[in-house]
Amino acid sequence: MILRHREYMLKALKMAQEAFNAGEIPVGALVVVNDEIIALSRNRTEELHDPTAHAETLVMAEALKVIDEKWLNDAVIYSTLEPCPMCASAAVLYRVKRIVFGAYDSKWGACGSVYNIAGDGNLNHRIEVIGGVMERECGGIINAFFNSKRKLPPGL
């Protein structure tokens, strides 16, 4: 299973690179159902002038269109960054089965690092979470993006 996580995260990283190239915070996400990728997306907040156009929310909405159902009960979301409170809450509402993410988010993470919306026992649905898959690579693209915005050399 670990090899599959890596395979899917590599595809999410490609989406993150597309976001980076478009001047977006480089987060990529995809939805897998029954070992098949059914939707891919990336951050599009700048492009759409919409602060809610995160890779995870966009990919979940697209996945529902593909499967033509109300819930994502059998879905696994792969994201290069730990979902924020908005995205984790949306995943709970969509009833996602599992979230697999790369880099932890020490400011906005809502799947265990800052908040734990995905596992909150007060909510009607809890999501299995696997964090840190290809963490170095996923964190690296985020760091490179912000370093480029700050005009810092890579690796600082």
Q: Show which residues are catalytic.
A: 56
Q: Which residues contact 5 (CB under 8 A, 6 or more apart)?
A: 78, 100, 130, 133
Closest CA to 58 of 36, 78, 85, 39: 39
Residue 155: C-alpha distances to residues 13, 80, 101, 142, 152 (Å)? 18, 19, 22, 11, 9
Beta strands in 34-88 (DSSP E): 36-42, 75-81
What is the rounded (10 degree) CA torsion for 95, 32, 61, 101?
A: 80
Centre a 10 Å sphere on the Cβ of residue 152 and count the other Cβ atoms it contains: 12
Q: Which residue has the tokens 């907040």?
A: 45
